Amino acid sequence: MPAPSENSRAWEIFEQAAPTYEAWYSTPAGRRVDRAERALLAWLLQGSDPSGIVLDIGCGTGHFARWLAQRREAVGLDRSAAMLSDLRRRAPGMLLVRGDAQQLPFRLRTVDVALFVTTLEFLPDASAALREAVRVAHRRVVAVVLNRRSLGGLSRRYGRQAGRPLLGQARDCSVTPLRKMFVAAAGARLLDLRWTGALFPGLPWSWRAPLPFGDVIGMAATLA
C-alpha cells in the first residue's frame, strides 16, 4: 500500500458523501459489487462464531453492517457523524460508535471479528488500524480492499475514477503488502491467513479465486 497521506482528517470527505453514498448500490455496477462482496464476506467469515460480535470498522452508512446484523450481532464504528446518522435512521436498533479506526474505543478482545470493508484504503495509517483490530478481536480480523493490480485500480489512479471525490482518494493495496501488514499486526497470535480475489472483469460476480487481479481482495486472519 502506498505511503499514507499527511491529511489525518481525510475521513471528512465521507461527511460530504453521506447523503448520496448508499444510492450507488442501486446502480448496475453497485448491485454487482454488492453481490460479490457479500459472497466474499460470507466466505471470509466461515468458521467464525455465529453468536459472536462483528465490529464493522469504517461502517459508513452500514450497508454491510446491516446485512451482517440479519445473521449475527453487529456493531458499526465510523469517524463520520453524517454517515452514522444515516445508518441510525436505517437501522435504529443497531449499536453504533463514533470513533477512530486507529484508536479503537474498545478493550482487549471485546469482539469476535474485527472487519474492514474498503476502509483501510482511506486511513492515514492502515497498519495502525490493523494492529488495533488485532487488539480488540478475539478470533478473527477480516478485510476487503480495493486491489491496486486490477483494471479498477488503474482507473482509480489514471482513468475516469481518478477525479471522483472518494475513489480518487483511495490508496489501493495489492496482495503481498496486505499480507505483510496482516502478519506484522497479528504477530504471535496469527494461526492462519487466507485470501482470495473477486470481481474479475468479464466474469460472473460470484467467481472467486486466489488470483491477485480481481478488483477486490479479501483477507482473513485467524487469531490465537
User: Any idea which residue has 467464525 for its cell?
Assistant: 48
Mean pLDDT for the stretch of residues 10-23: 86
Residue with cell 450481532: 73
Q: For residue 6, is it within any domain? A: no
Question: What pLDDT is attached to residue 4?
Answer: 39
Which residues lie across from 147 on neighbouring strands?
A: 173
Does 103 fall in a domain?
yes
Q: What is d(CA 171, CA 4) in angstroms, rounded to the nearest whole number?
A: 8
Q: How many domains does the chain have?
A: 1
pLDDT in tens, 52-79: 999 999 999 999 999 999 999 999 999 9
* Residue 3 in domain: no
Distance between CA 56 and CA 53 in Å, rounded? 10
pLDDT by residue (tens digit) across 118-148? Answer: 999 999 999 999 999 999 999 999 999 999 9
5 found inside a domain: no
Q: What residue spans of 111-173 are helical by DSSP H?
A: 126-136, 151-158
The CATH number that applies at residue 155 is 3.40.50.150
Contact 171, 2 (CB under 8 A): yes
In a domain, 52, yes or no: yes
d(CA 94, CA 146): 27
Q: Is residue 2 pLDDT above 50, yes or no?
A: no
CA–CA separation, 182 and 196 (whole Å): 14
**Domain assignment present for 25:** yes
Is the pLDDT at 6 greater than 50? The verdict is no
Supply the pLDDT for residue 10.
Answer: 63
- pLDDT tens digits for 146-173? 999 998 888 888 887 777 777 778 889 9
Q: What is the pLDDT of residue 215?
A: 96
Q: Is the pLDDT assigned to residue 3 strictly greater than 50?
A: no
| pLDDT for 5 beyond 70 | no
Q: Does the residue 117 lie in any domain?
A: yes
Residues 164-221 pLDDT 10s:
777 778 889 999 999 999 999 999 999 999 999 999 999 999 999 999 999 999 999 9
Backbone angles phi, psi at 75, to 5 degrees: -120, 135
> Residue 4 falls within a domain, yes or no?
no
CB burial of 157-171 (b: ≥16 within 10 Å; e: otherwise) equals: beeebeeeebbebbb
Residue 146 has what pLDDT?
A: 96
Instruction: Answer for the pair 156, 162: CB distance below 8 angstroms, yes or no.
Output: yes
Is the confidence at residue 29, as pLDDT, over 90?
Answer: yes
Task: Note down the domain range covering 183.
Answer: 12-223
| Residue 11 main-chain phi, psi, to 5 deg | -60, -20
